Amino acid sequence: MINRERLIDTFRFLAKIDSVSRHEGDIAKELKKILETMGAETVIDGAGKKTGSNTGNLIAKFHGTEKIPPLLLNAHMDTVEPGRGVVPVLKDGIFTSDGTTILGADDKSAIAVLIEVMTVLTENKMPYGPIEMILTTCEEIGLMGAKHLDMSLITAKYGYALDATDTEGIITHAPSANKIEFKVHGRDAHAGAAPEKGINAIHLASKAIAGLELGRIDKETTCNIGIINGGIATNIIPNLVSVKGEVRSHNDEKLKRVTSDIISSFENAVKNYGTNSSDGLPRVDVVVEDDFSRTAIPANHPVVTLAQKAAANLGRKMITKTTGGGADANIFYERGIITGVIGTGMRDMHSVRESVSVDDMVKTGDLVLEIIRLHTQIGERL
């Protein structure tokens, strides 16, 4: 029942709207108008004041025809850079950009699918239960929109986020994550005239990093140092360097241990420098941020079995999957909303090679429609 050509037009329209993180205002306005013409009650919450975006999250509520518990459907409005002036190109059933920008299929393919699904439901006067559609901002810069979502507007206790590749998988397990920032303080001095008077902050940070095990620690745990900033000129010994990294794990004890090990490496690098200077240098400041909590949805949870039954009805499979990434679903799960993550077929996200197949978007639309149909039948028992 998904209208392929209409879905194509919707995605092309959305892809052309600039919506890089913290600049989602234009697409939020357009989506608000579209969803309201379909009968939704919409609210833009106040998250923008906290995220720095020029808009809040967009919540659209469809009351449906049946009095059953509501179903959450989620996608995010923001894209990564380079994401301005996107020119979507459709060739042989596959959307790409013109090669100078990302495409924005992450996550506009999901938004296009959700609009098409709701259009099919309403134009065909199909029975369905309440739908709470949550379109977030700033997902790409730390799930910030979801973190600051006005939860008083949400009543759903389960649902689906469309923010993955695999159209025949549902992500049920995702890791917890810590962000860590170190500021290593040294002492500046002329690098040629008086190097012995300086304490090289970059050197200390490098020693700390050299002692770390990075990448995949084990099958449950990863860590990374991703950003280093420091120094002014080659002839000045740097007195400050900032180092940012992260740790992720499906095991919270391992998350805690690896985070502690990284902190110890920096603290020991400073401690072992061997100076007793009166200015207290060198020193290191450490900030650890609980970025998001893990998800662990049981295989027999209705969110999983509903998606699997819907897929089976369409002659497909739906396997449970574990990921190393985070999504808005992590935040919803932490707040008591069990949210599985399903895919739209988007590939090579966060690159100028990003693409999405129209066939895959249609498949996801069919799946979501069938999920809603089954939810309508058994919603009171969920």
Q: Which helix H or strand E contains 162, and what residues bound it?
A: strand 158-162
Whether 297 and 304 have beta carbons less than 8 Å apart is answered as yes
Cα separation, 313 vs 310, whole angstroms: 5
Cα separation, 82 vs 319, whole angstroms: 33
Cα separation, 58 vs 53, whole angstroms: 12
- Whether 78 is a known active-site residue: answer yes
Cα separation, 55 vs 66, whole angstroms: 32
Cα separation, 142 vs 52, whole angstroms: 13
CA-CA distances (angstroms) from residue 29 to 44, 82, 102?
9, 22, 22
CA angle 26, 15, 366 (to 5 degrees): 115
**Burial (Cβ within 10 Å: 0-12, 13-18, ≥19) of residue 66:** middle
- Whether 267 is a known active-site residue: answer no
Q: Which two tokens stand for residue 19?
A: 């919506």
The neighbouring-strand residues paired with 253 are none
Catalytic residue among 106, 107, 132, 139: 139
Catalytic positions, written as ranges: 78, 139
